[in-house]
Homo-oligomer: A and B are copies of this chain.
Amino acid sequence: MADFMYFEDFAVGQAIETAPVTVTQAEIIEFAKKYDPQPMHTDPAAAEAITGGLIASGWHTASITMGLMITGRPYEIAPGTLGLGVDSLRWIKPVRPGDALRLKLEVVAVRESERQPDRGIITSRFVTVNQHDEPVQEMLSSAIVPRRAIKE
């Protein structure tokens, strides 16, 4: 099992790139029926006129991106690590059935927490690209990460 990554283990410039995951039409429709029921996401025929065919909900792309991070990173994060939120998220290109998405993740800022001395904040850029290496989503997001406990 991989080592846990604590705050001290992160540095600006660290980067990973995951393997791809293919997005199916069935999955696009299933997600959208639950969370984003609009014809461009749920109805291939209606989507033809609106967006030139079915496109994935942006929230589906964001959720797939989260999954790529969790399953694709070559390390485990320390217990207690928590996503704080998103500083910016842009949907750049439509995601269509059959697209193979992968995640390019880079640490862009590392700072101590002012309020919690046993934790720090890591900000990363998440670029989700398709099989043509075109970015489909770009996001800046931060997580609060525990420091290593001081050994007794």
**Cβ–Cβ contact A36 & B66, under 8 A:** yes
**Which residue from chain B places its CB closest to the CB of A51 in the assembled complex?**
B82
**Which residue from chain B places its CB closest to the CB of A86 in the assembled complex?**
B89
In the complex, which residues of chain B have a beta carbon less than 8 angstroms from the beta carbon of A85?
58, 88-91
Taking the closest CB of chain B, its distance from the CB of A105, in whole angstroms, is: 15
Partner of A63, one of B35, B38, B67, B80: B35
A-side interface size class: 20 to 34
Taking the closest CB of chain B, its distance from the CB of A79, in whole angstroms, is: 6
Partner of A35, one of B36, B64, B87: B64
Can you offer 20 A-B residue contacts whose CB atoms are under 8 A?
A31-B63, A34-B67, A36-B66, A36-B67, A36-B70, A37-B67, A50-B79, A50-B80, A57-B63, A57-B66, A58-B83, A58-B85, A59-B59, A59-B66, A60-B63, A62-B62, A83-B91, A84-B91, A86-B86, A86-B88
- When A and B form their complex, which 6 residue pairs have the shortest distance between CB atoms, in order from nearest? A85-B90, A35-B63, A86-B89, A35-B67, A59-B63, A85-B89
